[in-house]
Structure 1
Amino acid sequence: MLDIGSSKVACLIGRKDPSVGLRLLGCGTAVSRGVKAGAVVDLDAAELGIRQAVEKAERAAGVSVHGVTVNVGLRSLSSRHLRVQTEFASGAIADRDLKRVIGSSLTELSEPDYAILHALPRDWEVDGETGIRDPRGMFGQRLGVDMHFVTAGIGPLRNLAHCIERCHLSLRSVTVSPYAAAQSVLTEDERDLGVTLIDIGAGLTTVAIFRDNTLVHVDAIGVGGRNVTSDIARGLNTPLEAAERIKLFYGSALHGARDEHEQIPCPPVAAMDELQHAPRSRLTSIIRARTEETLELVKDRLVHAGLDTYSGRQIVLTGGASQLSGLRELTELVFNKRVRIGTPHGIFGLTDALNAPDYAVATGLLRHAFEQTGEAVSGPPDLSGRRYQRARYSGNALSRSVQWLKENF
């Protein structure tokens, strides 16, 4: 499993053990370069980070890696919902009927500039009766389904796939980052009652909403922890590396009682300049302004999508930037909901370093690979933009009639 982020690349190798369940065999991490907001912008630099992470994981696990499941976190991530209905001969609904309806939805959504990453049946309908989880074996004449599709732009996906191929690895499947993180940190009750997962990475903030144990919405905003670091560097006139250290050691999203009196050392930009100091209150003001703006952006997107209330009363934060002091409390103030920091669970052999919010996506990819998700598509995404179009437009009347006979008899 390969988590390619804007700040780090993590490769996890695991297997299903009958005695203990999912077991971690090896892990490798490397600094991520050439990746911005989840998109590959420098093939050589990105390839180097992937190779280093995979080689470390291979040595730790004592196995060779040939194929990988990769996360996808891009600004172009979006959710689309489509309801499709078809008629069929009276009788018990079988697997072929479900496949036919789902196939119709795939061809209906097909767009040349976007690839379908996930296709999840949310709700089935038989002769007008909705809310059916599994219609197989039921009787009726009209079968419908409400499909949830997660899509992304084909261009960045092609660059990601090409980068994986340059590392002599095959792309077996992809999982969007917040969906992967949810597999690792959410409880079944949260997914059932309604929960919003916000994964705050270095270059991207992604969102996944669950209800009734189903993924119902995905979104992405091109702002993350690096934006906070950049604001600190400009506001305190200090180098980016120093700003990152200041954020980690002194940073908080909420003001403290002694912030005005505590002075923070700020290394100068020029080597010959003297060491400067700034009150901690200035640092906190910079951090709060950016983090509050990011959270407000997420909230506005959910309100615009009509999901602010539907998403439930629980928020779970993950990602490296979620560990910022005071962020949980600030999120509670912005959303007026209960908030907790999500950490991975359900994998035997996780070290203390891996049992942290910034490894939620990597560990979630591992869990997702061994679980039955009920998705309508599997394997690598279609990057040609023509697979489902061919299914929709190919064939003459005779071939379509033959196909109908195969499906129904």
Structure 2
Amino acid sequence: MKLNAQGTNQAPEEACDFGDEQKFWDRWGWMVAGVWIIFLVFPILDLLVEDYPLPTRIIGLSLVVLFAAIYLGAYAKYSWIVGQGGTDQRRAHVYFLMLCAIIVIGVPVTGLTVMGLFPFITSYAAFLLTKKWTITTYATVLVACFALPVYFGKFTDAIFLIGLNIVLMVVYVITVAAITRSTDAERIRADFLVVAEQERVARDVHDGIGHSLTALNLKAQLALRLMDEKQYLQARGELVQLSELAVDALDSVRTTVQGLNRQDLDIELAELQHACNDNNLEFTVAGTAEQIPLQHRSHVAWILREAVTNVLRHAHASTVVLHIEPGQVSIDDDGDGCQGNSPGHGIRGMQERARQFDASCTVGASRLGGTSVQVVFDAKEAR
């Protein structure tokens, strides 16, 4: 059997491991900054309510708007770094220094009102910059929180802002630690999955290819003995079987390699359709790949490929029907069936693969008269 999986048809391999979490931060990480924008209400209300000259209000509000724009823009660009230990990129530092410059400019214009901007630069440093920058920023803000009220002679009026800044700095540290811990856990999990996949390949090589090579060696030795005894007809028969074993071993190698590289379930379904057409086998699909959770599609693709491989090799079937539903996948054929045989390497491999994503894989009689392979996982997760 040959599945005709050409390298040119492979889908580009996505950054995996904790890719889903990374995509979340790439797309929605700026919301971490957006949440804290609410604290701009303090300097805005102060500028609107207090008795400031009109030019001061205009300049102050303009500075606040510019501050918010730079802050959100920086997060939109660097949200991917959240939980990754911060960045040393020059532009990130430029954005940060621009925010600090606006605060410095705002001190003679609005006085203690600029303290309402301190939580933004501390969050920026904690989430986006390295630990050295964070420590320096925290120390500077702590000094400023006490020095400015003393300088303007309004320490009592600034107690709330002092307490707010200190509390938020603690919250930022705890939040960053939690995100970093989660990211580290995902990285460890990704490493574990890589090791598990390596172990699976080792099992495939040992159980499949190792067995085939042993059989090839025995057949070759037998053919040589028969030739020495001038039993050429029997020797030719052994060589024919040796050739068939070599083809099976090559198929096993292809299956192992495809199990490492296949990522896209849609492409896998197209390859299976092509393979069945080449072997005059009717292949029908009810459902779409989108009904399978993204994190399960690679596993499901591997199981389907193995199931169809078994059909093409052993079942003598004319029809294969694949049903894809939220929470389960089943594949039925009208071939010879299991015929009471004990589970072979292919079935064990499918069941082991299913266990890797907390699913079950059962093999039994099909309503079409042949074999049915059913994979069941969490329907809630699928929705």
TM-score class, shorter-chain normalisation, is under 0.3
Greater relative contact order structure (CA < 8 Å, 6+ sep) = 1
TM superposition score normalised by structure 1: 0.20
Report which of the two structures shows the higher radius of gyration computed on alpha carbons.
Answer: 2
Write 1 or 2 for the structure with the bigger share of helix: 2
TM superposition score normalised by structure 2: 0.21
